[in-house]
Structure 1
Amino acid sequence: MPPPLPASRMNMRQRFSAMRNIAPFLREIWGTSRPMTLASIGIRLIRAFLPIATLFVGKLIIDEAVHLLGLGVEHELLPAWHAGQLDHLVTLLAIEFALAIGADLLGRLVAYVDTLLSERFTNATSIRLMEHAATLDLEDFEDADLQDKLDRARRQTMGRMNLLSQLFGQAQDVITVISFAAGLLAYAPWLMLLLAVALIPAFIGESHFNALNYALNFQWTPERRQLEYLRQMGASVDTAKEVKIFNLNRFFIERFRFLSDTFYAGNRILAGKRALWGTLLAALGTLGYYIAYAYIAWRTVRGDFSIGDLTFLAGSFRRLRQLLESLLSGFSQVASQALYLDDLYSFFRIEAKIRSKPDAIPVPAPIRSGFVFDNVGFRYEGAERWALRGLSFELHAGEVLALVGENGAGKTTLVKLLARLYDPDEGRILLDGRDLKEYALDDLRANIGVIFQDFVRYHLTAAENIGVGQIDAMHDRARIERAAHRGMADEVIDSLPKGFDQVIGRRFKDGVDLSGGQWQKVAIARAYMRDAQVMILDEPTAALDARSEFEVFERFKELSDNRTAVLISHRFSSVRMADRILVLAEGKLEASGTHEELMAQHGRYAELFELQASGYR
């Protein structure tokens, strides 16, 4: 059963207030390219007067033809031509021909300029969207409501391309309307009043249905995201294996069909009502036109107007009616587009909570004493349970610290707090005796190299996959090769057909996919690209066998001399090489010490170690 049509989210006053978005939109267009913006406006200004000029020349042609008929030249073409009686008519025809050619040329020019300007504006807005998204907090991206806003904003960067042409076209039509209206007012002023009365109902109806269409799209943002997700899951190289083995294609297809059919049903109802009411309201405009046409014809029969006047007035009224309908409908559509722009600009208005203070200081080099977690507590937005609570410990400069604990113990959250991807809800984190919030955010993160367990697999070359770890050294091949060697990814890259220049991943042509373990070694090499004072490995070796993980961690410890390092792993045989081990449980620090000290305590660590060790016996 189709969903009920949504109620309009805005009344008429609120819809008009959305027009405030047009001013910043126009400023951005101007900022995109001033020469092209001026060219588009100038060409349209010329085009605005062509319709009235063409129609008036047509009137003169008809009047001249009637005049020549009165002279009896209809059967004497050549004598009339030689006598010069047709000169005026030929001149008028040549002018109308030139106007027709000019109108076509200017139309093509404005389309050309608008296409280039729209493309540049779309690209500039997309860049701005990515730049702003980069400033937002990690917590923002984990919020479903913000994901909806981001999805709507992303669609607006592409969906507003024709708003530019629409706005400039509206301005052109306004000038044309003024020129036609001036002619009508000179003959019969009340015709303008008749036209306005006939068109206003159609405008109100169009505005109402545009608002309903926006409300439907706004209401269905989460479902649209689900549709896109299902489309990707059902036809993606990343999911193809499981989709085939578990025969998930029918499941995804049925769910996609249900959601898409439901959304289609809502759109169909709205489109049907819009078509019905649009037809009825447009009929009022048609009725107004024919009343005016009858009046003009009667005045012509009475001798008040010439045949040319009849043609000019009837054509002017018809064109004026069409233009006003287009203007009112276009204004309603612009108002609707302004609502969509609100989605884009509301996203740009979101501000990050985690940012550098104006007087932020650089991270000390080298770090002298290290980090202190002072009664730190953190809870994710909307969660009832605290991810971390009452956490206090020290991470000394140059120390290799291991974090262990069962899933959900808070290990990854601790690392994110250390990198200031989150700020604590309680307590504070100190670096060399000063709160992390006092340090410049970019400098802090530049001094921390992190590889998370859910690292990104970039479908770029092997060199670029490593180079993104230090973007300003992306073209330093020697540094990339050293990082690959440290991360034990050099053997993986040597086996690729094009070595470091090989695109990895199956998304693009000629790409070579890697195994999970190979991808992880590339990701670890990425961390070594950064000459960071603090190195963090958050379970990045899950796809490696026990021997390979041990070798990675052993290499990591060797290369961590004079650096502060944090290891997270579920394999206790690997973390025992750390200088100190922290045991987390339900967001709290349960125990701390070396491997030997923790085993002697016979607590959770010893229990989990023996449980895991028994699986290898």
Structure 2
Amino acid sequence: MTERTARPGARLGALRHLPTLVREIAAASPLLLAASLSLRLLAACLPVLSLYLAKLILDGIVAEHARPAPDPGLAAWFADPGRARLAGLVAAELGLALASDLADRLTSLTETLIGDLYANAASLRLMAHAAALDLAQFEDSAQQDRLERARRQVSGRTGLIGTVLWQFQSVVTLASLAAGVAAFTPWLMVLIAAALVPAVLNEWHFTQAGYRLAWFRSPERRRLDYLRYVGASVETAKEVKLFGLSGYVTGLYAQVAGRLLAESRSLAVARARWGFVFASLGTLAYYGAYAVIVWRTVAGAFSVGDLAFLAGAFQRLHGGIKEMLLGFTQITNQAQYLDDFYSFFEIRPQIRTPAHPRPVPSPIREGLVFEDVGYRYPGTDTWALRHLSFAVRAGETVALVGGNGAGKTTIVKLMTRLYDPHEGRVLLDGVPLPDYDLDDLRARIGAIFQDFVRFDLTAGENVAVGRIGAAADADRIAAAASRGLAAPVIERLPERYAQPLGKRFAGGLDLSGGEWQKIALSRAYMRAAEILILDEPTAALDARAEHDVFARFRDLSAGRATVLISHRFSTVRMADRILVLEAGRVLEEGSHAALMARGGRYAELFTLQAEGYR
């Protein structure tokens, strides 16, 4: 938390988001919002009307006690004007009670619907903005915390909608009650309000402390979510069981959760202790005012009906003023959490389409060129790449070889403009990548990563993600699956291309690692891109499946600039050119035959791997 957000004034500053929230609620459903406000206004006026009717009824009863007893029977009762008026007042009070119950239920209904609509709209906005951010921003732990806080607030802040509308109702109710009480004893209103100020300030202090605690604990809560995932998910169950990790993971969870619980418990105890002390002041003020009203009634200044009205009004004012002021405190507190949501949208991607982009050439004629490229990851002084220069020409297959940390993955992310270099340039047909439309550029690139996503979607959709705009083209999906060797796998599924995959949802079927990799390879055929990047494309395939893939590899890479990353030299040797990387630079370059003849690092690595098969 910054110094700005830690200051008390920041609580009020966070209220700047309320107009935006109201506009978004109105945009979600103007009709429902108007209905809710009307219902709240009606409900706000009912308490003072109900109390006034009770006053009239009591005064009427006292007046009737001074008269002779009425004749038995309803006819005689209603024939008397005074008693008929009394019966009308009781009926009116019944009507108000029914109206109040109906208004409460309709208000709850409309605001539930408004909350759902707003949560859906906010979720869509959150996902759209997250999709526009840079990959480096996702990889930054501080930005991950901001995303986590924003994600939690999407549904959590819908309660603020009801709180704000309820506050509007409370203000109207208290204004009407205060007007009625002020007609009798205005100075007692000042006494009650003054007695409640310490309680409100106390609540203000502890809600601020609660927000600070939640803000600082975002990393720990994200860690708890991760430990829950590790300890209780289908994706991790195998390793957790085989390695006996359950006790270790639950121990870590208990350790982190214990710290959070201890801090929360300490804050809750202090809040309850001081809350009782200051609330007692308000209670004493209320009963002092009540004693004054009783004394003045006995002295004849007020009627019994006046006593009932004032006692009821003071009781509601006592609770209502306190709740209204504390409600304002809660709104400012929740507005800070709302600030977590809206501040996420203040993150701006650095990798964007220029104002006047150049069209991406089609077909690509020259290919990709790295000119003296350097890149280092945020928070480190170590260069992942430095003074790197090479080319991938159109129609050429270039393989990248090197140990872990050699820079292969960083090169791929620069090619796809997931990163921008800190030094040098990456060119496509002689034009720097930042000069092109970002979406158009990525649409021309087909990348299949080793850690490809196994979507819990249907088999057909898992292939179609290679070109999601063609998801309705069943023939194209089937052709891509056939060329990527996934067709036989899909044809064996009970629902074929409509079969849900994965274990997350009911009815889903999981595939083996090799079968999933064939699905991923089919995405490359689905995309029909002009630049193809294959990161360990056969890592999970058996020898026969690998042979079948590369029997078709020339078809897949024909006419495309292809980058191939693999630790299998049987795969690498088929490339037109091989780049051997070390510490972010090109150590060796050439064809398989040329590099073997040179007897350098590539030849050493190839020989070591070949000996492993003897």
* Structure-1-length-normalised TM-score: 0.97
Q: Specify which of 50, 55, 58 is matched with residue 51 of structure 2.
A: 55
In the TM superposition, residue 288 of structure 1 has moved relative to its aligned partner by: 0.8
Distance in 2 between residues matched to 1:412 and 1:146, nearest whole Å: 22
Distance 1:8 1:288, change over 3 A: farther
AA of the residue aligned to 1:166: T
In the TM superposition, residue 17 of structure 1 has moved relative to its aligned partner by: 1.4
Per-residue CA shift, 1:314-358, capped at 9, x if unaligned? 111111111111101110000000010110011111000001001
In the TM superposition, residue 495 of structure 1 has moved relative to its aligned partner by: 2.2
Distance 1:56 1:145, change over 3 A: same
Distance 1:121 1:64, change over 3 A: same
Q: Specify the alignment match of 1:107 in structure 2.
A: 104
In the TM superposition, residue 540 of structure 1 has moved relative to its aligned partner by: 2.9
- Superposition misfits of 4+ residues, deviation over 3 angstroms: 6-9, 74-85
Distance in 2 between residues matched to 1:533 and 1:194, nearest whole Å: 79
Q: Specify the alignment match of 1:68 in structure 2.
A: 64
Q: Specify the alignment match of 2:396 in structure 1.
A: 399
> Quick check: 1:215 aligned with 2:206?
no
Distance in 1 between residues matched to 2:598 and 2:557, nearest whole Å: 28
Distance in 1 between residues matched to 2:240 and 2:122, nearest whole Å: 36
Aligned-CA RMSD value: 1.6
In the TM superposition, residue 531 of structure 1 has moved relative to its aligned partner by: 2.0
Find the residue that maps to 1:567 and give its secondary structure: strand
Residues 206, 332 of structure 1: 8 Å contact kept: yes
> Quick check: 1:250 aligned with 2:219?
no
Within-5 A mapping of 1:87-102: 87-102=84-99
> Quick check: 1:181 aligned with 2:178?
yes
Per-residue CA shift, 1:174-196, capped at 9, x if unaligned? 01111111111111111121011
Distance in 2 between residues matched to 1:542 and 1:514, nearest whole Å: 15
Q: Specify the alignment match of 1:493 in structure 2.
A: 490
Aligned length: 612
Residues 521, 537 of structure 2: 8 Å contact kept: yes
Q: Specify which of 588, 594, 597 is matched with residue 594 of structure 2.
A: 597
Distance in 2 between residues matched to 1:583 and 1:503, nearest whole Å: 41
Find the residue that maps to 1:152 and give its secondary structure: helix
Q: Specify the alignment match of 1:429 in structure 2.
A: 426
Per-residue CA shift, 1:47-97, capped at 9, x if unaligned? 110100000011000000001011133786765454444101000000000
> Quick check: 1:480 aligned with 2:477?
yes
Q: Specify which of 365, 384, 387 is matched with residue 384 of structure 2.
A: 387
Within-5 A mapping of 1:244-393: 244-393=241-390
Distance 1:475 1:552, change over 3 A: same
Q: Specify the alignment match of 1:471 in structure 2.
A: 468
Within-5 A mapping of 1:120-131: 120-131=117-128
Residues 7, 212 of structure 1: 8 Å contact kept: no
Within-5 A mapping of 1:72-83: 72-73=68-69, 79-83=76-80
Distance in 1 between residues matched to 2:389 and 2:40, nearest whole Å: 68
> Quick check: 1:616 aligned with 2:613?
yes
Distance in 2 between residues matched to 1:155 and 1:134, nearest whole Å: 17
Q: Specify the alignment match of 1:46 in structure 2.
A: 42
Q: Specify the alignment match of 1:3 in structure 2.
A: none
Distance in 1 between residues matched to 2:411 and 2:262, nearest whole Å: 47
AA of the residue aligned to 2:515: Q
Q: Specify which of 124, 131, 134 is matched with residue 134 of structure 1.
A: 131
Distance in 1 between residues matched to 2:381 and 2:547, nearest whole Å: 37
Per-residue CA shift, 1:579-614, capped at 9, x if unaligned? 111111110011111111111111111110001111
Distance 1:192 1:109, change over 3 A: same
Q: Which runs of 5+ in 2 are unaligned?
A: none
Q: Specify the alignment match of 1:539 in structure 2.
A: 536
> Quick check: 1:12 aligned with 2:8?
yes
In the TM superposition, residue 545 of structure 1 has moved relative to its aligned partner by: 2.9
Q: Specify which of 155, 159, 168 is matched with residue 158 of structure 1.
A: 155
Residues 73, 80 of structure 1: 8 Å contact kept: no
Residues 525, 556 of structure 2: 8 Å contact kept: no
AA of the residue aligned to 1:515: S
AA of the residue aligned to 2:583: E
> Quick check: 1:551 aligned with 2:538?
no
Which has the higher mean CA deviation after the structures are superposed, 131-140 or 15-24? 15-24
Find the residue that maps to 1:577 and give its secondary structure: coil
AA of the residue aligned to 1:107: D
Find the residue that maps to 2:240 and give its secondary structure: helix
AA of the residue aligned to 1:382: G
Find the residue that maps to 2:13 and give its secondary structure: helix
Distance in 2 between residues matched to 1:287 and 1:160, nearest whole Å: 35
AA of the residue aligned to 1:103: S
Q: Specify the alignment match of 1:198 in structure 2.
A: 195
Find the residue that maps to 2:390 and give its secondary structure: strand
Q: Which runs of 5+ in 1 are unaligned?
A: 1-5
Distance 1:211 1:489, change over 3 A: same
Distance in 1 between residues matched to 2:3 and 2:392, nearest whole Å: 56
Residues 353, 438 of structure 2: 8 Å contact kept: yes
In the TM superposition, residue 558 of structure 1 has moved relative to its aligned partner by: 2.4
In the TM superposition, residue 536 of structure 1 has moved relative to its aligned partner by: 0.8
Which has the higher mean CA deviation after the structures are superposed, 57-66 or 503-512? 503-512
Distance 1:75 1:349, change over 3 A: same
Per-residue CA shift, 1:139-160, capped at 9, x if unaligned? 0110111111111100000111
Q: Specify which of 403, 413, 424 is matched with residue 410 of structure 2.
A: 413
Distance in 2 between residues matched to 1:441 and 1:287, nearest whole Å: 67
In the TM superposition, residue 554 of structure 1 has moved relative to its aligned partner by: 3.6
Find the residue that maps to 2:557 and give its secondary structure: coil
Find the residue that maps to 2:381 and give its secondary structure: coil
Residues 398, 565 of structure 1: 8 Å contact kept: yes
Q: Specify which of 8, 26, 30 is matched with residue 26 of structure 2.
A: 30
Residues 550, 574 of structure 1: 8 Å contact kept: no
In the TM superposition, residue 8 of structure 1 has moved relative to its aligned partner by: 11
Residues 174, 327 of structure 1: 8 Å contact kept: yes
Distance 1:310 1:166, change over 3 A: same
Distance in 1 between residues matched to 2:87 and 2:17, nearest whole Å: 50
Residues 369, 428 of structure 2: 8 Å contact kept: yes
* Structure-2-length-normalised TM-score: 0.97
Q: Specify the alignment match of 1:225 in structure 2.
A: 222
